[in-house]
A and B are shown apart, each in its own frame.
Chain A
Amino acid sequence: EDQVTQSPEALRLQEGESSSLNCSYTVSGLRGLFWYRQDPGKGPEFLFTLYSAGEEKEKERLKATLTKKESFLHITAPKPEDSATYLCAVREYSSASKIIFGSGTRLSIRP
């Protein structure tokens, strides 16, 4: 069964304390892996798309990386405004119209 698992469920960091969020996936053939940010009471906001192992993308304090079995979202020197839930999702070749989401990591950054 295709699965997307995110860890940890919740993460509390001090401002400036770098860390990483994990997204592991089991699909028959990865077409693309997506990272979203979701603020309370709002819809997910797109961050990155990764297509192949070894690929990396950066945006401000965020950097996403991809291996054959998992993806990491690295957060460098986070600020309180980075507090949100971060969602990972995958699209596979066999059913390109469908995206499978993980349950997310709730990130809280204390000033």
Chain B
Amino acid sequence: NAGVTQTPKFQVLKTGQSMTLQCAQDMNHEYMSWYRQDPGMGLRLIHYSVGAGITDQGEVPNGYNVSRSTTEDFPLRLLSAAPSQTSVYFCASSYAVSGDQETQYFGPGTRLLVL
């Protein structure tokens, strides 16, 4: 199993540009989520999905869109990049949201710099 994969590893954008951060998992996990991590702050939840076709907002959803057309993929779209979106983005997945199978597995992260 490759686990959770994210692409690209690093990206530089200009203000106003759009892009999609890719996330895929091969563990047949139902629950997937996107976080951003900024210095001195904990991981903050952007959007999450409890299964294909179902998405919901987390703590900091503004400026980001998601969709979940398959169990495996959960892309994060930046519609019009802003310097405040400079961060490290992590995708995570788990089989469930409770019980023994709620352990979240994280991807390696995407480092985004918006100029």
Contact = CB atoms under 8 A, between A and B. Distances in A.
Interface of A: 4, 31-32, 34, 36, 41-46, 49, 87, 89, 91, 96-104
A34 B106 CA distance: 14
Interface residues of B, number: 27
Contacts of A96: 97-98
Contact of B56 (A41, A97, A100): A97
Among B50, B56, B106, chain A packs the most CB atoms within 10 A around the CB of B106
Contacts of A31: 98
Contact of B31 (A34, A42, A97, A101): A97
Contacts, number: 55
Given A97-B50, A99-B33, A99-B45, 18 more contacts: A34-B104, A42-B108, A43-B106, A43-B107, A43-B108, A44-B43, A46-B104, A91-B97, A91-B102, A96-B98, A97-B48, A97-B97, A98-B48, A98-B58, A101-B42, A101-B43, A101-B44, A102-B42
B75 interface: no
Contacts of B105: 46
A87 B42 contact: yes
A98 B46 CA distance: 10
Contacts of B102: 32, 49, 91
Contacts of A32: 98, 102
